[in-house]
Chain A
């Protein structure tokens, strides 16, 4: 035998999934939402998405370079972050503000904590919140959506989001199809659900988080006297439950951890919507639960096969 053999620890077979493949699946799942955004708010949405994605990838590349770490843009996670952030913005936001959001997401939240897998809050979500706090009026200026009911218009350039609009302004159909005010990716419920189904079929996400999140939010709505279906279809609940709360890095890896996490998200979403003066509870509730993830994981270590709880004094 001429050449040397490769020697390593078992296993010598590996599956063919990769980080890149997973991120690609997330991008594919977000495509319907991106297309819907273009239809509903015009091609400006596409420009916004392009700006965010390009900025995120560039920032990821530059910051890795400066920190002298190996390049990671190939894993496509920066593309996902850019896409998610864009979908969480109003269509006529100043591009500079959007780029500032990218800086927060990629540099401050992600890379300063060590890059993919190390951040403890969801980068796109954290960026959205920073922008919301820093530029409240720009972040809550909602351009009219294609086919939105006339009653929703506040003036020629603004319309109300379903959460602040008077009851009866929007029908369920309006919400399903995205005929309402809101950030470009959150308005159209149908495409988000479609993306979620794709992710579950591809086994990229487990259905636990979205389902439990939505179920809890519906239950809480009932309890506090809101219309559950309306609550689920409006605002960022679907986008949050399907794409933000399921972020690997910032959600628990254990099964019961996922349940607890999602219950918390659903609970706080409705509580914030009902009892705070912020109209939107999704971002804050997910962020809050992100921070609790290490605690939740500690509390939900799965029972290993053959593990029997030892009673005191039963030691052999």
Chain B
């Protein structure tokens, strides 16, 4: 195997937009939310198969006790984030509008730790994968893909590079940034664990250059004796949106391109969010599963923007009240960042595992003109980091033109929002393309159904 080198500076990536950073909370110490009276834990807080409840109404549960799980490969178990009684198991509406079962736990305020909790014994890669699965960890950067599945790299793929994603390119969000400043040793020890078990000798920490203090903190540790072979390096990357998108980050850090429809492992890379990697380190030390997380609460309507560490399942309303409530009526409430987050119909939803921010945006921040006719300025093409043609995709989607969607590679769109952001006519390009992608998937399913017996 050829010696792997570390890039001196990031590789060129195309497109992207200069969204305002608004990192108002970067220099504020995170605060810890007092134990809420009630939490709700939906059965899908991850990509993959939903979990099944393992407790009944009336049961007493302890912090960290597993309360739901699934046998499916792509899934992640769910643990009680407070101690108390299971009040009900009922359907709740998720941010995307779907309805799923959720376990409601009434807290007794004791935060009694489950007696089963003990640090896992990890001696091999498969131990690590099992441990990570048991911890309930999903990608904490927003997508919510079960981390154990990610670590379980198929034997026909050769992964030689671990990339730690600290781009945090979405405006406002600073939860990863705070994670580094507050827990930098966890980050590095998590990296060392993963790289050793996966036998990876090149770790690149991709971090946007607008976080000099975090870069310094990581460098200090990465250059110390914990990394004698100098296999962990920090690579400052440009601070444009969306440098943190997996495929773009891989390109910036290694120069490699993930093939269309492929996974990072097809480009020899494993990309992990910094919060997830630090969590692994903590879990191996303490055995406490994923029951709380740090999230950024910000936006023009929030009185005191700050990062809050909250038990998973806390009502959003409670988190917002804790930081001082709204200073004006929000125009939009967003779970996640302003570029890719989901806008919520009300604040009666609950914090999910992969939830990295709650933003209450004012009318001034988030209201735009009505869309007008496309003037074919081509700005959406220049902004698209995937080098697609958003205007053609949107047109094809609006026409219902399957061939056009295929020709212009609709499925390669990652819905980053750069095209809509930049469009002077304020066209709803992402929304149209999403419809187009759904059309394509439907057509594909129909084609498969039509040729039954053919290969999938």
Chain A residues engaging chain B, CB cutoff 8 angstroms: 1-3, 5-15, 17-19, 21-22, 72, 75, 77, 114-118, 206, 248-249, 253-254, 301-308
Contacts and interface: CB of A to CB of B under 8 A. Distances in A.
B391 to A, nearest CB: 7
A13 B260 contact: no
A86 B215 CA distance: 57
Contact of A5 (B344, B365, B420): B344
Given A7-B343, A11-B417, A19-B425, A305 B338 contact: no
B371 to A, nearest CB: 10
Given A5-B346, A9-B431, A116-B375, A305 B389 contact: no
B426 interface: yes
A19 B330 contact: no
A8 to B, nearest CB: 6
Contacts of B259: 306-308
A13 B387 CA distance: 21
Interface stretch (B59-67, B160-168, B378-386): B378-386
B373 A118 contact: yes
Interface string B430-453: 110010000000000000000000
A150 B401 CA distance: 63
Contact of B375 (A249, A301, A305, A307): A249
B430 A5 contact: no
Interface in B16-33: 17, 19-20
Given A9-B434, A11-B421, A249-B375, A304 B260 contact: yes
Contact of A306 (B258, B376, B426): B258
A116 B372 CA distance: 9
Contact of B407 (A117, A301, A302): A301
Contacts of A17: 379, 422, 424
Given A11-B421, A253-B378, A304-B388, 4 more contacts: A6-B367, A9-B430, A18-B424, A305-B257
B430 A10 contact: yes
A115 B375 CA distance: 10
Contacts of B251: 305
A17 B412 CA distance: 26
A253 B340 CA distance: 26
Contacts of A253: 376-378, 381, 389, 391
Contacts of A11: 338-340, 417, 420-421, 430
Nearest to A17: B424
Given A14-B421, A253-B381, A6 B375 contact: no
B247 interface: yes
Most chain B CB within 10 A, of A3, A10, A77, A206, is at A10
B347 interface: yes
B376 A10 contact: no
A254 B389 contact: yes
Nearest to A22: B424
A259 to B, nearest CB: 13
Q: What's the dominant secondary structure at chain A's contact region?
A: loop
A19 B376 CA distance: 10
14 contacts: A2-B329, A7-B344, A8-B332, A9-B428, A10-B430, A18-B425, A18-B426, A248-B376, A253-B391, A254-B389, A302-B388, A305-B257, A306-B258, A306-B412
Contacts of B372: 19, 72, 75, 116
B389 A302 contact: yes
Contact of B377 (A13, A22, A118): A22
B408 A301 contact: yes
Contacts of B341: 10, 12
A306 B421 contact: no
Contacts of B108: none
Given A10-B430, A307-B260, A1 B346 contact: yes
B377 A248 contact: yes
A12 B373 contact: no
Nearest to A20: B424
Contacts of A249: 375-376
A3 B430 contact: no
A54 B248 CA distance: 48
A115 B424 contact: no
B347 A10 contact: no
A251 B48 CA distance: 45
A10 B378 contact: no
Contacts of A12: 332, 334, 338-339, 341, 343, 359, 361, 366
Nearest to B370: A70
Contacts of B344: 5, 7
Contact of B247 (A5, A75, A305): A305
Contacts of A5: 330-333, 343-346
A301 B404 CA distance: 12
Contacts of B417: 10-11, 13
A304 B19 contact: no
B427 to A, nearest CB: 10
B409 interface: yes
B354 to A, nearest CB: 15
The 5 closest A-B pairs by CB, nearest first: A11-B417, A253-B378, A9-B431, A13-B338, A306-B257
A230 B401 CA distance: 49
B7 interface: no
Nearest to B415: A10
Contact of A14 (B379, B420, B434): B420
A3 B362 CA distance: 13
Given A10-B342, A12-B338, A307-B412, A117 B347 contact: no
Contacts of B430: 9-11
A6 B369 contact: no
Nearest to B385: A305
A13 B421 contact: yes
Q: Which of A3, A11, A21, A248 has the most CB of B within 10 A?
A: A11
B374 interface: yes
Contacts of B420: 11, 14
Given A9-B430, A304-B412, A307-B260, A15 B386 contact: no
A134 to B, nearest CB: 29
B171 interface: yes
A117 B374 CA distance: 6
A21 B425 CA distance: 10
Contacts of B407: 301
Q: Among B342, B368, B391, which residue has the most Cβ atoms of chain A within 10 A?
A: B368
**Which has the most chain A C-beta neighbours within 10 Å: B342, B379, B386?**
B379
A64 to B, nearest CB: 12
Contacts of B171: 13
B262 interface: yes
A304 B343 contact: no
Nearest to A75: B372
Given A19-B372, A22-B375, A75-B372, A6 B343 contact: yes
Contacts of A304: 260, 386-388, 409, 412
